[in-house]
Chains A and B, each alone.
Chain A
Amino acid sequence: MSLLEERYQKDPSIVAREIAGEVILVPIRQNVGDLESIYTLNETAARMWELLDGQRSLREIHGVIVDEFDVEAEEAQQDLLGFVAQLETIGAVKRV
């Protein structure tokens, strides 16, 4: 199965906060991310984060991103897969 068909859900041990217009991810529990650090998201990444709800597949999320942002389909796909891989690395999302 293509990775694009996968669904991911957020781990409750990392919390997204919008502070002064910037979206950040705050690790709140031991063993998730680096508790001494904070992760900042750009506008596209913040929207991807919002869409990672365990229901939508990456293909569906990709469709939304291409619709909403001025970005080529291939570039958006690379960005999305790269972003999800990084989120998995810090324990922010899990494959459903």
Chain B
Amino acid sequence: MDCPHIPELSYGEFGERLRARIAGQRIPLAGSLELTFRCNLRCVHCYVAHGHNGLPGQEELTCAEIYGILDHVVDEGCLWLLLTGGEPLLRPDFLDIYGYARRKGLLLTLFTNGTLITPRIADYLAEWRPFKVEITLYGRTQETYERVTGVPGSHARCMKGIELLLERGLPLKLKTMAMTLNRHELWDMKAYAESLGVNFRFDPLLNARLDGSSDPARFRLSPEEAVACDLEDPQRMDSWRQFCQRFVGMPPDPEHIYHCGAGVHTFHIGPHGELSACMIAREPHYDLRQGCFREGWREFIKEVRLQKRTRDVKCARCRLIALCGQCPGWAQLEHGDQETPVEYLCQVAHRRAEAFGLGSMTS
């Protein structure tokens, strides 16, 4: 379309232009909303604890409460919203919430394990098209997949879910958490995604459980294996090279504990209305049942972002900080405080630096 009044842009172009225009301003452009902690799978590595059935005595946000929160989120300028869980499709009112959010003009991403997708859900998504849907694969073979999920039949249901979305031309992406149980099928999963014509990505960094348990760490790849995954994937290496050229070597912010975009242009809301700076850094949080999103975002999260270091840690001087996943959220989960460095992340970052030829910065 060529019209002086209504220039047509792809979302990617629009997003880039927007981010450049609002640099330095705090606007909650993108957020995530965790609709439930409940899940129909029993994945060994999951960061959600609570016996997979939600916290006793703590009710999930109702549909009406979520509508109210979405109204405020939109008023504050959010455009991209991720709906996630737990497994969000377990909520019987999922399509109501999804439809409400879409009609508010939000660009929705859905994270799901894919096993609960029905023709009815897929049809609805096709009519009210999401920005994207991401399904997590846990293995390429049934054996590996179900060894991770612990649920017989889940592999076949996931494959069916993928089929239902692709039949309708929905914008699907596949991904996995690379871990000891599925490392040997990582590239088979990628090949499978490519055979379907969809993008694939993986993350080898399993974080601790939200209750502080280190159980998921039992399935972590060693730092060497995590970096080996990078080196075996030419596309991923290209992305890393570009990233390193732009960001690595920049002096860290020695004063503040946050050095990412959390709480500047992004936010997270938990299943019971807990507003936090991001999905990993959940503490401290603001209770949306006691106040409104506007106040939580403008006052509370702003203060969270401004938290200063209370002690000297090696990360405050590390020039690899951009390459490292070290953050207050990981530290909180692993150590119960926001500042103690997570040694595993440090090791991965240093091995990556060596592998990427940035050895001079590692000292």
- Tell me whether A71 is interfacial, beta carbon within 8 Å: no
State the interface size on chain A (CB cutoff 8 A): 33
Q: How far is the CB of A29 from chain B (nearest CB, A)?
A: 6
- Bound form: Cα–Cα A42–B7 in Å: 9
- Tell me whether B27 is interfacial, beta carbon within 8 Å: yes
Chain B, interface SS category: loop
Cβ < 8 Å to A, chain B residues 127-157:
127-129
Contacts of B48 in A (CB 8 A): none
State the interface size on chain B (CB cutoff 8 A): 29
Measured CB to CB, the nearest residue on chain B to A12 is B103
Contacts of A17 in B (CB 8 A): 74, 79, 105
The 8 A CB mask of B86-123 against A (1 = contact, 0 = none) is 00000000000000001111010000000000000000
CB–CB A89/B126 < 8 A: no
A40 and B105 contact, Cβ closer than 8 Å, known pairs A30-B126, A30-B127: no
CB–CB B3/A83 < 8 A: yes
Contacts of A3 in B (CB 8 A): none
Measured CB to CB, the nearest residue on chain B to A35 is B129
Measured CB to CB, the nearest residue on chain B to A86 is B3
Interface-located stretch among B8-16, B225-233, B247-255 = B8-16
A19 and B1 contact, Cβ closer than 8 Å, known pairs A28-B103, A37-B10: no
Q: How far is the CB of A49 from chain B (nearest CB, A)?
A: 9
- Tell me whether B284 is interfacial, beta carbon within 8 Å: no
- Bound form: Cα–Cα A82–B5 in Å: 8
Among A20, A30, A42, contact of B21 (Cβ-Cβ < 8 Å):
A20
Among A28, A37, A44, A82, contact of B8 (Cβ-Cβ < 8 Å):
A37
CB–CB B1/A90 < 8 A: yes
Contacts of B127 in A (CB 8 A): 29-30
- Tell me whether A15 is interfacial, beta carbon within 8 Å: yes
